[in-house]
């Protein structure tokens, strides 16, 4: 009779979510996610999987070895407006895992401002502000107008 002993792999502990907190408003659809790492009693190497959900489905997944944060960057990672639950899964090198509880933040709709229109330029190519040309015009008229001549005695 042979007795065989098999090692039992314990699942790591669930990560603890730090930020963003429940109910946070994420302006612009970007943020940094932070969590406290799960712990593995067997000493196995851990990786964390950040999951972002919208409308009841996973929309983004980031697998991160040894990391306890992830920052969203670039248009491809911008989140759409609406509620967005998130959670982090800790998985050991043997495949055992545990998942944090979920938290939800909200991405408000982006407000698009209309483009600023430049005023049309004048036909002469010089931009002026209203009323700024009046003193210049007075000096110009004064310089270009003929000066009255004084009469000298004897001239008639």
Q: Could you identify the residue written with the tokens 């040309």?
A: 133
What are the tokens at 105? Answer: 């933040």
> What is the per-residue pLDDT for 70?
96
| Cis ω for the linkage preceding 15 (within 30 of 0) | no
pLDDT digits (tens, 9 = 90+) for 22-31: 999 988 888 8
Nearest of 61, 68, 6, 19 to residue 39 by alpha carbon:
68
For residues 88 and 79, the answer to whether their CB atoms sit within 8 Å is no
In angstroms, how far is CA 106 from the centroid of its own chain?
A: 14
> What is the per-residue pLDDT for 57?
95
For residues 19 and 32, the answer to whether their CB atoms sit within 8 Å is yes
Q: Is the pLDDT of residue 13 over 60?
A: yes
DSSP state of 111: P
Mean pLDDT of 78-106: 94
For residues 10 and 95, the answer to whether their CB atoms sit within 8 Å is no
What are the tokens at 83? Answer: 């509620």
pLDDT digits (tens, 9 = 90+) for 38-60: 998 888 899 999 999 999 999 99
Q: Is the pLDDT of residue 149 over 60?
A: no
pLDDT digits (tens, 9 = 90+) for 102-134: 999 999 997 776 777 777 665 555 555 555 555
Nearest of 86, 90, 88, 83 to residue 10 by alpha carbon:
90
> What is the per-residue pLDDT for 30?
84
Reported confidence tier of residue 72, pLDDT bands at 50, 70, 90 = very high
> Average model confidence (pLDDT) for the chain?
82
Map residue 136 onto helix, strand or coil. Answer: helix
């Amino acid at each position: 009779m042979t007795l065989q002993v098999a090692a039992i792999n314990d699942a790591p502990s669930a990560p603890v979510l730090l930020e963003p907190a429940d109910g946070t408003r994420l302006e612009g659809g970007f943020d940094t996610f932070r969590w406290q790492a799960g712990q593995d009693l067997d000493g196995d190497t851990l990786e964390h999987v950040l999951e972002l959900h919208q409308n009841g489905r996973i929309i983004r997944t980031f697998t991160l070895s040894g990391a306890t944060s992830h920052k969203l960057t670039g248009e491809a990672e911008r989140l759409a407006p609406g509620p967005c639950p998130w959670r982090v899964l800790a998985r050991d090198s043997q495949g055992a895992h545990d998942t944090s509880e979920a938290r939800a933040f909200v991405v408000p709709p982006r407000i698009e401002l209309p483009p600023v229109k430049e005023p049309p330029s004048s036909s002469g190519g010089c931009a002026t502000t209203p009323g700024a040309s009046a003193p210049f015009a007075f000096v110009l008229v004064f310089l270009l107008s003929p000066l009255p001549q004084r009469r000298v005695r004897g001239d008639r």
